[in-house]
Amino acid sequence: MTTARAAHVAKRRGNRTQALWGYAFIAPTGLGLAIFNLWPVAQTAYFSFTEWGAFGGHTWTGLDNYTRLFADPEVGRAMLNTLTYTALGLIGIPLAIVFAALINRPGLRGVSVYRTAFFLPVVTMPVAVAMLWRWLYNGDYGLVNQALAVVGIDGPNWIADPATAMYALVVVGIWSSIGYNLIIFLAGMQAIPKELYEAAAMDGAGRVRQFFAITLPMLSPTAFFISIISVIGSLQLFDLVFVMTGSGQAARANPAYARLQTVVQLFYERAFVTNDRGYAAAIVIALLVLIAALTVVQFRLQRRWVHYV
């Protein structure tokens, strides 16, 4: 009886030490996230109801920022641009699936070469990517228009022309993210049991048939994941546009600026160029709501197209 009691006490003491170590181990990240992430979210929410003076300090102004936001054509435009970019960017997902399926063909040689080629833009600094494409898209000397000139087409000034700027931007967005999606789809494809393909081949299904009957449905959970993170990422687009349009005076000189400016770019200008931080806070809260809404919608829609085994 006493030994049982002693064991019980020892176990309780063991549990307590374990619990203390548990808290100690999560303490650094826990405190860091509390200071730099959790508290800032609460503060940003609070700031969105305030107005900032020219010399620091802020005053409570209730819903003013939000009423201003709804009436502000610049916000509406930035939202529309961002949503357009996000929607068009989704084309990259089926493209990535097709390329992944081609690369995944059994016994294909040179897989690592192709994979590397697709992945290179993913590891390249977005600022460098944007500078590079600005040069390729240059209206007078860019490689794109020089190539078009060979076949007799006089190409536009892609990112400075309101009619083409958004499409040109989407192409860069897809070019720089397709490798990431492709790697994840490849991993997903490799997890599909080989037996399914063998059985289908026995039933006389060709590769194309197998792709539509097996690969696509089995891959739909992966595609769902990619579409969730692509939408979230696209809605936060900043780097590419910031470098392609520039900021401040130079940006406003770009005739296509109104077609390109994104929500986060507008946030940057309000928060750190014009120092209108209360309004900037309201803009990112609106962005949070938009992201949450589109994520919820996607989760609702997944029943229609995602197959879970």
Interface of this chain with another protein, residues 217 to 236, rule: CB under 8 A? 221-222, 225-226, 232, 235-236
Q: Which of 177, 267, 269, 282 binds another protein (CB under 8 A)?
A: 267
Could you say which residues in the range 149-178 bind another protein, by CB under 8 A? 149-150, 175
User: In the complex with another protein, which residue's Cβ is closer, 102 or 163?
Assistant: 102
Q: Which of 84, 200, 220, 268 binds another protein (CB under 8 A)?
A: 268
User: In the complex with another protein, which residue's Cβ is closer, 110 or 204?
Assistant: 110
Total residues binding another protein (CB under 8 A) = 97
**In angstroms, what is the minimal distance from the CB of 200 to another protein?**
16
Three-class secondary structure assignment of 79-119: HHHHHHHHHHHCCHHHHHHHHHHHHCCCCCCCHHHHHHHHH
**Could you tell me where the DSSP H helices lie in the chain?**
2-33, 39-47, 64-71, 73-89, 92-103, 111-123, 126-136, 143-150, 165-190, 194-202, 207-210, 216-235, 239-245, 248-253, 257-260, 263-268, 277-305
Is residue 207 within the footprint of another protein (CB under 8 A)?
yes
**In angstroms, what is the minimal distance from the CB of 1 to another protein?**
24
**In angstroms, what is the minimal distance from the CB of 111 to another protein?**
9
Could you say which residues in the range 49-108 bind another protein, by CB under 8 A? 99, 102-103, 105, 108
Based on C-alpha coordinates, what's the Rg of the chain? 26
Q: Rounded CA gap, 308 and 189, in Å?
A: 14
Q: Rounded CA gap, 98 and 173, in Å?
A: 18
